[in-house]
Structure formats: structure tokens, C-alpha cells
Amino acid sequence: MNFVLVHGGWHGGWCWKFVDTLLRAMGHNVVCPTMTGLGERSRLLSAVEGPQTHVEDICNVIRWNELEDVILVGHSYGGMIVTGVASLMPEKIKSMVYVDGFVPTKNQTPASSMSTPERAAEMKAAMQRDGTILPNGFERWSSNSETIAWLKQMCTPHPAICFCKGVKLSGAEALVAKKVFVLAKQHQPSPFLAILRTLQR
């Protein structure tokens, strides 16, 4: 199977290395791209015009790797991105997996509107003059001190515009019949529980 793993805010393709190893050991093809302006591509920060830049990143990865029947996985902010990708190329996507992911259900819905008030306040406090938001909330991502130290070392500032703008949706994302939502219960207060409940209605 072809897996494309899309990271969340402040992260890069590096964050999937343990999952990547497990999936490859099972014989799957795995691609873990880093989106523009983040991780090893952080020098391209000024090229990010919003989340649609990242949608185009992932579409290009699928296109130039000639991938078919893709299992498209999005974590957190990456949930918005995989939805945008499915909207543009549903014929390439076999199934979608949201891991604590934002799931836009309307065109141009920003991630900020789906977050909790507490998380939105933290994000605002972490805003920098250069238009980025510093990595924060590490204790929600892990309870392991070594993992937290690793995340603090690896994460990079994220363009604030990505949380304030939504992705373009054509409605074609609905053509991807199989969708799975994975909820990480340790993440509290979690905006993703409300998203899951909305999807279950």
C-alpha cells in the first residue's frame, strides 16, 4: 500500500520516523514529506501564502511519485491539508486517516475556528512579530520527557497565516468513501473531540 503521512503544525516529515519504520517493515511504501517553510524546509518560510501552499506540496508529492490508491494520513493541522488534497485529486486517494486532525467541512474554514478558546489563547500568546507562531503545547503531544525534549529540539515556527486561512474545497473530497478518525484522548483540552462528534452526527 502507498501511505502519504502529512505532519501537523511546527513539525516536519521527521515526526513520522517511528511509524514509517513500522509500516515499511510490513511491506508498505511510505512517503513522509515536509511542507514548505517547516523542518528542513524552514528557509522557505516566506514562500508560504497559507494552507493552500501546503495542499499543493502534497499534491505534487503524489503526482511526481506517481502514487495511486493512496492512504492519506493527516495529523492535526495536516487534517486540513489532506482534505484539500482529496478535494483536488480524489481519484488518487483510497482512504483518509485523520489523527487528531482538523476536518474542514466548508470551503475556506480556518483551523483557528475549530480550536478551543484555551488553545486559541495559547496560539495568540505565541505569535511573533514576523508572523509566525512558536511551537507550544508540547505536554499535549507526549507525556514522555525524552520525547518532549526531542520535539522541542526539532519543531520550527509555523506561519500564522496557515491557521487563519482555510483550504479550498470543491466538494470532490466527499468522493473518498473511506475516512477514519483517530482521537488521542491524552490531548486535553482537545478541540478534536468536538470535531469527531460533529462528524458522527
**Unique residue bearing C-alpha cell 484522548:** 185
C-alpha span between 192 and 8 (Å, rounded): 13
Structural domains counted in the chain = 1
**End-to-end Cα distance, the chain:** 30
Catalytic residue, chosen from 46, 76, 87, 170, is 76
CA atoms within 13 A on the CB side of 178: 11
Q: Is 76 noted as a catalytic residue in this protein?
A: yes
pLDDT at 122: 82
Instruction: For residues 85 and 4, give the distance between their C-alpha atoms in angstroms, rounded to a whole number.
Output: 11
Closest CA to 119 of 102, 98, 144: 102
Q: What is the DSSP string of 32-91?
A: -PPPTTSGGGGGGGGG--SHHHHHHHHHHHHHHTT--SEEEEEETHHHHHHHHHHHH-GG
Q: Which domain CATH number covers 115?
A: 3.40.50.1820
Instruction: Spell out a b/e string for 88-100, using b for 16 or more CB atoms within 10 Å of the CB, else e.
Output: bbbebbebbbbbb
Provide the domain limits for residue 185.
2-200
pLDDT at res. 158: 97
pLDDT tens string, the chain, 201 residues long: the values are 999 999 999 999 999 999 999 999 999 999 999 999 999 999 999 999 999 999 999 999 999 999 999 999 999 999 999 999 999 999 999 999 999 999 998 999 989 889 888 888 888 888 899 999 999 888 888 889 999 999 999 999 999 999 999 999 999 999 999 999 999 877 777 888 888 888 887
Q: How much is the pLDDT for 64? A: 98
